[in-house]
Amino acid sequence: MTHDHLDTPVRAASRPFGRVLTAMVTPFTADGALDLDGAARLAEHLVTEQGNDALVVNGTTGESPTTTDAEKERLIRTVVETVGERARVVAGVGTNDTRHTIELAATAEKAGAHGLLVVTPYYNKPPQAGLLRHFTEVADSSGLPVMVYDIPHRAGVPIETETLVRLAEHGRIVAVKDAKNDITATSWVTSRTDLAFYSGDDASTLPALAVGCVGVVGTSTHFTGADTKRMIEAYDAGDTATALALHRRLLPLFTGIFRTQGTILVKAGLNASKLPAGPVRSPLVEATEDEFAQLRADCAAAGLPLPE
């Protein structure tokens, strides 16, 4: 297979997707159907009110394990049509099947996505040679820039430093969503490559900036996006005191959103805020009364109280 665009590098900016990206939940109607009107309104809110530079759709937070390929395509098109001229739209296309991932990447590109998020193949635990081939073949197949998603506690296998260094040689592999929680490994990769590292753990964003990360792909950023952006901008400006103060204020929600599976609490908070979210799909379950009460307390502690 040959591609005319294979030798065209897209690595040009140190922040190819901006500073703050939210892994957007996928709104559903009360009966569990895809809510495209709600998706458009939520995307608008996240860009206009929460200051997101980019949105990730069809990620795990977007319940990608339980949405169909057709639903994924419709969601990309809707979000691109709504905010695509003001924010980057990154499509989650990663699966544990390279062929299926390539198919989803092609569909996302045709639907107007600006980039691809490709997670480590999960459950089948390929060796590093398999990971290298998987990410390379996906990047070879598409004209879009790729963000590799390193999350060993879900995928079952880390992307080792040497593998990331090799992947950085590819012209279209430009970024990493780093949820490994290994600051030393992150430091080695950022010192040896020009990959744009984005924290994949909300609470680790500020310390990650110190070792060369450029932003965050967040979950709590459905609510903390504007303040998280201020935190990063303060750090960039050398105002570490302000950055640290914001980090400490937001910490209850950075961490609290993960007291149970993050999508569950994001949707509970959005529903309470009269923003589009709706129910979760099985096997996820709705937040309990106690979980919601704790979320309310965490939001208040972060200075971002939910409506009564």
> What residues act catalytically?
149, 177
Radius of gyration of the chain (CA): 18
The answer to whether 128 and 163 have CB atoms below 8 angstroms apart is yes
Q: Three-class SS string for 284-305?
A: CCCCCHHHHHHHHHHHHHCCCC
Alpha helices in the chain (DSSP H): 36-48, 69-83, 98-110, 128-141, 152-155, 161-167, 183-192, 205-209, 221-236, 240-256, 262-272, 289-301
- 149 forms beta bridges with 119, 177
Q: How many CA atoms lie within 13 A of 299 on its CB side?
A: 23
The answer to whether 236 and 271 have CB atoms below 8 angstroms apart is no
Say how many Å lie between the first and final Cα of the chain, rounded: 57
